[in-house]
Amino acid sequence: MDASLLNIQPTASEPIYRQIVEQLRRLIAGGQLAHGELLPSVREVAGFHAINPMTVSRAYGIAESEGLVERLRGKGMAVIAMQQTAHSESQRLALLEPQLQALARQAHELELPAAPVLRRLTRLLGD
């Protein structure tokens, strides 16, 4: 994997380490990162994006603890991609969590009750 694959937005409201973890999660789930593929070193990522290496190592640590990657002695971080079908429904649902939360929040702000939103959503999902 190349460090340029990550897209870092320092000014976004999401902390950088969280952005890295999310992007790694999506890349792995989407199949762009194969099982066993080595992640770029902390130095490479930090150097490419001009960010603090500690941020990168924090992100890698979180990814490791979530089971996305594992540390191979002497080589670095390697991707653990689970089979598509092995993804439990709850894990796949967890990927949608941010969008669902955003939807809920916006509905709240627009002062919409749950029923019409759910009706529309069901209709969209039904297609």
Partner 1 sequence: MNAMLRETESATPLAAHGLAHCYEGSSVLSGVDLVLEPGSVLGLVGRNGAGKSTLIRAMLGLLKPLTGETTIFGEPVLSLSDSTKARIAYVPQQPDALPWLNAQQMFDFVSRFYPRWDKAFARQTLERWQIQPHKLLAKLSPGERQRVDLIRALASQPELLVLDEPAAALDPVARRELLREVALRAGESGTTVLFSTHIVSDLERVASEVAFLHQGHLLMRCSVDETKERYARLWLPARMSAAAPTASLSRRRHDDGSLSLVVERDAQGQWPEASKLAGARVDALGLEDLFVEIAE
Q: Looking at 20-28, 60-68, 83-91, 101-109, which segment touches partner 1 (CB under 8 A)?
A: 101-109
> By CB under 8 A, what part of segment 39-78 binds partner 1?
42-43, 46-47, 49-55, 57
Report the residue from 2, 89, 97, 111 that binds partner 1 according to the rule CB under 8 A. 111
First to last CA, the chain: 36
- Interaction between residue 99 and partner 1 (CB under 8 A): no
Give least dist CB 55 to partner 1, A: 8
Q: Give the other-Cβ count within 10 Å of 93's Cβ.
A: 11
User: Where is 59: in which H helix or E strand?
Assistant: helix 53-65
The CB-side HSE value for 39 (13 A sphere, CA atoms) comes to 31
Residue 110 per-residue DSSP state: T
Q: What are the residues binding partner 1 (CB under 8 A)?
A: 10-18, 42-43, 46-47, 49-55, 57, 105, 108-109, 111
